[in-house]
Chain A
Amino acid sequence: MANERAEAQAKHTRIRNWFQAAWFALTNGYARGYTSGKIFTGNTKILCVPGLNCYSCPGALAACPIGSLQAVLNSSAYKVSLYVFGLLSMFGVLFGRLVCGWMCPFGLVQDLFYKIKVGGKKKNLPGHKYLRYLRFVVLVVMVIALPALVISENGVGQPWFCEWICPSGTLLGGIPLTLLNESFREIIGFRFFWKMFILVACCLGSIWYFRPFCKYLCPLGAIYGLFNPVSTYRLEIDPNKCIKCHACQRACGMDIATFETPNSIDCIRCGDCIKACPKGAITSTWGVTQQKIKSRCFIDDEAIAKAAVDQAPAAELPKQEKIIATIMGVLMTAGGAASAFLGLRFGVYSDFRMRMSIEALANVMPGSFVYECFKVLASCIVFATGIYVLRYRADGERLKTVSEKMRIAFLTYLLCIVSLVVSVFINFTTISLSTNNIVYNFFPLLGIPMLWAASAALRKRIQDGKFKALTVVLLVLGAVVTILAVILALAFIFTE
């Protein structure tokens, strides 16, 4: 049993490390920068990544939140940075310090150093009890007060934290840029060696101590930590299961007694305590939701299939309900297939070809490309759900799970709309209202109410027989858009 737990924990750590690496590759994917020694100058840098990721890294596709905060505070035009504080609080509300555990490149570096097997490993530095508050001092003094208050004669301040402390900037920006540019190598001075010293100290310290930079110095972790008790990702303890064995604290690199303070400001949400608990007393809010969706959306299917073998088959649905399920299935299958085709042909393929052939677009982040990918994904989910509904149109029990499947499509469509808004926002473009654009770009907008209506119609029809007017209106609207999408797709196929 103990071995199984250790294996599960090791597997979880491996998954987390691979996720961190994938996140780094995704947010630092400007490959040309690593060969040319130049940084990305596209307009996605208007947005910040959640982790401590230097925007002077040759591959960085977005801005560093701490650097951006100081940049706005430095500027004579602003007294306070509403935009960056807004982004930081949004990341904090959504993730809390999950960002530190899963999305920070410098966190990954420290985790990898901690994997080096040496003797005398300890969790904390001497004086940990007080040192853990040092990061708040760094935040207030180096990130907010000094950049805002120490202003030069020409009205501009300095990014003090970046200048004197940030080891992420040295590692991701300083080292690659000085290696790739001779002009930078010629002007290296005391500050570069000081920052190298901090970087080396953090890396060497990470061999013996778990994430010393995150524990004692990181201002970003200090901000996100304040959101831990109210973020959407929280840990919960089941008091009936917890035996207070301290297994969670032993597994925790940050040395937190999770059973006492599950939402501590120090917790980086690595999830090791969840795997280490012998009684399964620790759960995360995301984990509970995931389990609910899984059990209702997928596992129930197996249970139903098994029950169908063991027991007598359930009575078939009435004819009228079967007709509704069939109409829904056809709409979803046709709409999903047409939308996926249009997205692939006019969005993903065209966008990719344009980007490969036009040099001027090389530095423009494909915001629209991300939007198209989400749209195609959402359309595929709708298509697959449509097939499912058609296949099981007589099976009331299975049709009840459709609403759960729809939630995943809802989520993908929401991401799709967010990326559309971001794309319009960062590219400063508008969408003209031609018929083609309405069907092509606004299908996802109408897809959400349509899916809601489809799911509500099936569920309510099956459960209590009520059919509301709103559902009918949305279904008609959805049907019109579906038909338009199908016509457009067919017209394209037959005219090309």
Chain B
Amino acid sequence: MTPRKRNLITFALFVVSLVLIVTGTILGEPETVLNKAINVCMECIGIG
């Protein structure tokens, strides 16, 4: 694969990841993440 082609793939993937983040944000996923993260995750620490 030529470096130019590889850079194009990198850029395309970067754009795709931005689109995913924006779409997820519009759907309200960050709030779910925040709700989980600001409460002690009993499963993560091995209790509960």
Contact = CB atoms under 8 A, between A and B. Distances in A.
Interface string B2-39: 00001001100110111111111101111111101110
Interface centre among B18, B19, B47, B48 (most CB of A within 10 A): B47
A65 to B, nearest CB: 9
A81 B24 contact: yes
Contact of A78 (B32, B41, B48): B32
B11 to A, nearest CB: 9
Contact of B29 (A81, A189, A194, A227): A81
Interface in A52-91: 54-56, 60, 62-64, 67-68, 71-72, 75, 77-78, 81-87, 89-90
Contacts of B21: 82-83, 86-87, 90
Q: How large is the interface on A (under 10, 10 to 19, 20 to 34, 35 or more residues)?
A: 35 or more
Contact of B33 (A42, A48, A163, A192): A48
Contacts of B37: 45-46, 55, 60, 62-64, 67-68, 71
Q: How large is the interface on B (under 10, 10 to 19, 20 to 34, 35 or more residues)?
A: 20 to 34
Contacts of B44: 54-56, 64, 67, 159, 162-163, 166, 169, 173-174
Contacts of A258: none
Interface string A244-287: 00000000000000000000000000000000000000000000
A8 to B, nearest CB: 27
Contacts of A163: 43-44, 46
Nearest to A194: B46
B10 to A, nearest CB: 5
A346 interface: no
Interface of B: 6, 9-10, 13-14, 16-25, 27-34, 36-38, 40-41, 43-48
8 contacts: A43-B34, A60-B37, A63-B37, A71-B37, A81-B29, A82-B24, A170-B45, A174-B47
Among all A-B residue pairs, the 10 with the closest Cβ atoms: A83-B24, A86-B20, A86-B21, A82-B24, A174-B45, A45-B37, A83-B29, A71-B36, A192-B46, A169-B44
